[in-house]
Structure 1
């Protein structure tokens, strides 16, 4: 069993007066043998949450648990959680060969020396679809897709229980992204790894994830089975992320695009994370919020919770759309 659980996790940078809370009371579970997709725009706190799980950023509050026990790294030969970073070139030492980088990650408790370690490196390279002969190459001699495969092999060398993949396709050419995603999906099924897959691209997450969690300004605003969340999103921010995907078959101005108030909130910049808005953090950009529709001051006055809403959607009007599409959606959901 390899269940990773974030229990009321918060991460704060800076002083109490001048700092910012990048992750604010996040509860999230990565079940054993499943992929959880964590999505949200830049600055939402996704990578900070990942770095906290990897032990690279200290927690301000809360706990990170692996199979019910606090996740600790100090004094352990094997790290139970491994992370694959967005830029494979910066995560690999340019002065070390591919083989040396992977071999360095093999835990000492594996008891491999010399030829045994070289054989393990060759096995790992084959597992990620690379020629074992590339073990003698340096990162600068590889393409972006090959370097990301090496980064995956290096993560697997640590024999982890959980892998965190942080935007691992965003730095790759579109033609290579699909190949790497197929590899991730195949490896997860073969090894039965638990995985937190982070991306700002819902199309990418749709392809690999069993469950989707949506993050905005440091908080999870919606989560649930991937098919359910994508087919029937309850939080307006999730719908905005879905609508951002190109849809060339749509032409002309629909009711949302033609409404000046809707256009204004759609063009609004994300809130300053140092000073998040009062009430619902999404309300200055919300297409069903108080800046667009009257009678919704509750969004400014009271912070929403996910209690009683499908997918745990933290929205006072979860599941409601603009009156142009749903004229009777005027009351807060229960």
Structure 2
């Protein structure tokens, strides 16, 4: 496989719109995401090199660091009924395993532990809503190796979208594992093309902002309900306006570090807090924002356990 950018252009020929690939490659900064976004002007304090060091030091001197690491390994498997307006009876009970933000290279044993916990779960299709990698830059090989371990535990079709931690250069390797990456694309899920669900997936709407929901829906059969995969809930307005029935996303980690009582110190997303974790609804569109299976910045969690979600599709 040609791993050069020219090879990537050839691999993705016909799948990405004009300018998509070049814009994304341009924003894949070698040093990682900037503290101040050059386009929006928004400030990302978590990208300050000293922020992680200071937070880790504070947690260590208070004796909370090891507890946070243990919390981050206590994965919950949540059951959730996902209402999908327009769902046919043929798709009632269809189950989607939703994995988000695994950050697989957080430590050498994490991917194997996640694979063990996913093994044996019953589902019809698995969807991964981005952030395979722990850092926003650097060598992706450890994350891809971890993904191979996780994929071996997933006995069925797997679909994914890219997150703000993921390089588009990872796509050929991810798809070589039998995981279809949806780059503003879609396909039919279900037993028959006229009774199924359109599964659409868009590129990261948080940092790269190369999501194109209209393009992802353009081949959808008339009146077929659509489930949208997006890394972040920040695409919620565009999704509802485009006629999406349900949206699955992640990115926020539910705050990852919450105060007692569940208040998140930050969600790192430009959306209402009600959309930052769990089930929600917006203008007739249902949604679910996973708090994620992994951790970033630091491999700790407090009052916000990691999760994977088994969504059972139901008519609205």
TM-score (norm 2): 0.30
- Larger-gyration structure (1/2): 1
Question: Quick one: higher RCO (CA 8 Å, sep 6+), 1 or 2?
Answer: 2
